[in-house]
Amino acid sequence: MKLIKAVRGTKDIIEETAAKYSHIHRIAEDLFSAYGYSYIKTPIFEETDLFKRGIGEATDVVEKEMYTFLDRGERSITLRPEGTASVVRAYLENKIYAKEDISKFFYMGSMFRYERPQAGRQREFNQVGVEVLGEASPILDAEVIAMSYHLLEKLGITDLEVNINSVGENESRQKYRQALLNYLEPVKEHLCEDCKRRLETNPLRVLDCKVETCKKYTENTPSIIDSLSEAERNHYETVKKYLTLFGIPFVENPKLVRGLDYYSSTVFEIVTNKLGAQGTVLGGGRYDNLLKQLGDRETPAFGFAAGIERIMMLMDTIPSKETDIYVAWLGENTCDFAMKLTNILRKEGLKVAIDFNSKGMKSHMKKADKLNVNYTIIIGEDEMAKNIVVLKDFNARTQEELTIEELIKKLKK
Ligand code: HAM
């Protein structure tokens, strides 16, 4: 019988990667909560128009990467390629703006893009991200960038480079677009086929083409920073000032334009040189016009998303420690006593492992060693008769007899 395999571009998250995955979730949730963000979960599929209008028709994502299909009711549905448009839709639809001045959300989950799979690039991948709605201050931009950097630091990832830029508001972007076209039109013939097309649809995207000849011909293009208005330039300067104040090292990269159309003003990416072509670990920026585009509201916003698969590739192995305590019971008669005790300890919030089959001391110790626990509780018939247990502390290298109350008190400490 032919074994059915996972679909191309998708991967099981199992064993070591599963331990890393849940570790990332835990760290991200703790960090974002500490910064005052609350969890949001939006549906995995949406009306196709949400992404067309939100991300932009001329982007690679919308043009050629979306998983779009007609459902049984003939509606055009798309598996979400990213989280921002959905969070904005949920914010508008649920009128969250009427309840609070500023909303800070974090989310985690699968995204879908029909890309050519390679290391660090999948068709179903996972993101952890945040979106802040209702705040225009450049200090927010710097704070979110700093928080994203702290996230990677907390996960033990080093050798990162924070790249920042400003793509300005529509007016400045139009001005820059023209300056760029004037520069690139004469060398058009030397650009790749994709970039020739981009010159018509989205010339800024030529700046981050990875093809060597395109890179060469964009080396000395005019800088977008020169097209910014005074207000936009001040915003950008303030972001830089606060990044410095927060102790975040950064590099200004005037060619950073991002692949989604909703950005205005600050954009940023954190990159590494350890992942080959897929070196962007996370990215985001300000999208002050998206709420107008989707819901006719003047609400400024900023956010970022990180690729969990890329983070996992950069992380060292984390020792999985599901349990702290192992209960070893000796002889059939002690089984119920041991099960009851385990139940009590778990209700006290302790992480306890126990086996269901009777075994000898030697194999119990082997199991405790494999689980890498700090404590083993030993229950024999003598101990049970006296309503006590023996607690073996592997770190302190001690062994003592304790009543159940003493045991709980000690373990909870
Ligand atoms: P993005 O740059 O398209 O931004 O994606 C963010 C991150 O998701 C990337 O830096 C990368 O780590 C990861 N990623 C993207 N595509 C793939 C893939 N095919 N396989 C594996 N990982 C991938 C956004 O999605 C924006 N929504 C970010 C944002 C939030 N901007 C404002 N708020």
pLDDT tens for residues 56-103?
Answer: 998 999 999 999 999 999 999 999 999 999 999 999 999 999 999 999
pTM over 0.95: no
Residue ranges per structural domain of the chain: 15-169+229-314, 325-412
Distance CA(145)–CA(165), nearest Å, equals: 12
Distance CA(255)–CA(271), nearest Å, equals: 14
Question: Measured between alpha carbons, how far is residue 356 from residues 107, 341, 373 in Å?
Answer: 38, 14, 18
Predicted pLDDT of residue 319: 65
The residue contributing the CA closest to ligand 1 atom 22 is: 307
Interval 142-193: pLDDT, tens: 999 999 999 999 999 999 999 999 999 999 999 999 999 999 999 999 999 9
The residue contributing the CA closest to ligand 1 atom 21 is: 121
Predicted pLDDT of residue 413: 84
Task: Specify the CATH number of the domain 15-169+229-314.
Answer: 3.30.930.10
Beta strands in 220-367 (DSSP E): 251-252, 266-271, 280-286, 301-307, 325-329, 352-354
Task: Specify the CATH number of the domain 325-412.
Answer: 3.40.50.800
Q: Is the pLDDT of residue 126 over 80?
A: yes
Pocket (CB within 6 angstroms of ligand 1): 82-84, 113, 115, 120-122, 125, 127, 129, 131, 259-260, 280-285, 287, 303-307, 309-310
Question: Would you give the DSSP letter of residue 270?
Answer: E
Direct distance between the N- and C-terminal alpha carbons of the chain, in angstroms, rounded to an integer: 55
Interval 1-29: pLDDT, tens: 999 999 999 999 999 999 999 999 999 99
CA of 113, closest atom in ligand 1: 19
Distance 306 CA to ligand 1 centre (A): 6
Distance 403 CA to ligand 1 centre (A): 54
Q: H helices within 119-229, ranges in order?
A: 138-154, 170-184, 193-201, 212-217
